[in-house]
């Protein structure tokens, strides 16, 4: 049964659109009243749009939506559909008589799993906006439709991943969630060990970090990667604060994916703050780190097997 999640941060909705045959898709995070946002990039192979505007010191303070998608650089077209939807609904920066929606985006490379000639486009971005809701699917949906993890033994020995979400609320009114699309070179682990990653021909986990340390030319195998996501909070932050939260949130990736931030990943985390609650930056950072780690685990645990690529539940069933 497909699991859904619900975002409890007022004024924020999430929508997916995907092509289950081509195995690619788009996820949109929309902010009714806009949100202050920034990001931090740790992987060496990122793909993005409108992210330079999010740096502290740049003119525009708020975004209308953040887009996560597949399709590699081709998938950046999806933001055009989100902009069209936002413009039709009067969302954006007024420049004279023109409304310009602010829609940053990050992408994953998923062209090797489905049909590489079909990518997220303007239509798919628009459809994701039409599906905006407080409730949304996890696993093989939206940007997670074509996501996989554990590429070191080749794509045929990788595992299916997807999109995951984790949210928490504190007594002082702080709410914080993390939405992560997990498409890593490395393996995903929890307190029990590896739960999704590279498999050997017998169907058992190998340790990607140990294989790379052994001297393998990983670039021959590690095509099609990157973990992207967004920390979403009702806290009051400026762009520098959002950037700090994104920096610390990457610790959550390091606590759940190994190896992380490789030369063949483009790991990117946005932080978006709706500005309702004043609280400690350290509380927000620690909460973000935990939420990212748990969202990564949710992404793989809710991913369904597709074609010959196994999902978590199939592997778990075979090891019982």
- pLDDT at residue 220, rounded to an integer: 58
Beta bridge partners, 247, equal none
Tell me the percentage of the chain whose pLDDT exceeds 70: 96
Tell me the percentage of the chain whose pLDDT exceeds 90: 86
- pLDDT at residue 245, rounded to an integer: 98
pLDDT digits (tens, 9 = 90+) for 60-74: 989 999 999 999 999
Picking from 298, 234, 231, the residue whose alpha carbon sits closest to that of residue 270 is 231
Res. 315: pLDDT tops 90: no
Rounded to the nearest integer, the mean pLDDT of the chain is 94
Picking from 151, 155, 131, the residue whose alpha carbon sits closest to that of residue 141 is 131
Of the candidate ranges 188-197, 202-211, 284-293, 310-319, the one whose mean pLDDT is the lowest: 310-319
CA dist 273 and 67 (Å) reads 15
3-state per-residue secondary structure call for 286-297: HHHHHHHHHHHH
- Collapsing DSSP to helix, strand or coil, 319 comes out as helix
Res. 320: pLDDT tops 50: no
pLDDT digits (tens, 9 = 90+) for 213-254: 998 765 555 667 899 999 999 999 999 999 999 999 999 999
- The token pair that represents 292 in the structure block: 């990212």
In whole angstroms, how large is the CA radius of gyration of the chain?
18
**Which of the pair, 178 or 155, is modelled with greater confidence?**
178
CATH class of the domain defined by 4-319: alpha beta
The predicted model scores a pTM of 0.96
Picking from 107, 97, 98, 94, the residue whose alpha carbon sits closest to that of residue 62 is 94
pLDDT digits (tens, 9 = 90+) for 76-123: 999 999 999 999 999 999 999 999 999 999 999 999 899 999 999 999
User: First and final CA of the chain: distance in angstroms?
Assistant: 20
Give the start-to-end residue ranges of the domains of the chain.
4-319
pLDDT digits (tens, 9 = 90+) for 6-54: 999 999 999 999 999 999 999 999 999 999 999 999 989 899 999 999 9
Yes or no: say if 173 and 283 are a contact pair by the CB < 8 Å rule: no
């Amino acid at each position: 049964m497909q699991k859904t999640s619900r975002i409890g941060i007022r004024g924020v909705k999430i929508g997916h659109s995907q092509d289950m045959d081509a195995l690619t898709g788009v996820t949109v995070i929309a902010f009714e009243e806009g949100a202050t946002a920034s990001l931090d990039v740790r992987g060496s192979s990122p793909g993005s749009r409108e992210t330079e505007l999010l740096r502290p010191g740049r003119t525009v303070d708020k975004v209308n939506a953040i887009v996560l998608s597949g399709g590699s650089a081709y998938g950046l077209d999806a933001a055009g559909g989100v902009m069209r939807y936002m413009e039709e609904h009067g969302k954006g920066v007024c420049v004279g008589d023109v409304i310009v929606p602010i829609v940053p985006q990050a992408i994953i490379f998923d062209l090797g799993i489905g049909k590489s000639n079909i990518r997220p486009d303007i239509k798919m971005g628009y459809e994701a906006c039409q599906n905006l809701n407080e409730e949304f699917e996890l696993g093989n949906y939206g940007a997670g439709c074509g996501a996989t993890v554990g590429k070191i033994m080749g794509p045929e020995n990788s595992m299916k991943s997807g999109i995951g979400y984790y949210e928490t609320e504190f007594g002082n009114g702080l709410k914080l969630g993390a939405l992560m699309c997990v498409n890593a070179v490395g393996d995903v682990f929890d307190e029990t060990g590896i739960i999704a990653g590279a498999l050997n021909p017998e169907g058992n986990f190998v340790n990607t970090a140990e294989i790379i340390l052994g001297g393998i030319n990983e670039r021959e195998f590690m095509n099609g990667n990157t973990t992207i996501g967004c920390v979403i909070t009702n806290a009051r932050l400026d762009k520098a604060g959002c950037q700090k939260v994104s920096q610390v949130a990457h610790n959550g990736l390091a606590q759940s994916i190994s190896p992380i931030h490789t030369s063949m990943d483009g790991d990117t985390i946005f932080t978006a703050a709706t500005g309702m609650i004043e609280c400690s930056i350290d509380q927000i950072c620690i909460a973000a780190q935990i939420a990212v780690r748990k969202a990564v685990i949710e992404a793989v645990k809710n991913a369904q097997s597709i074609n010959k690529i196994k999902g978590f539940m199939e592997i778990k069933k075979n090891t019982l």
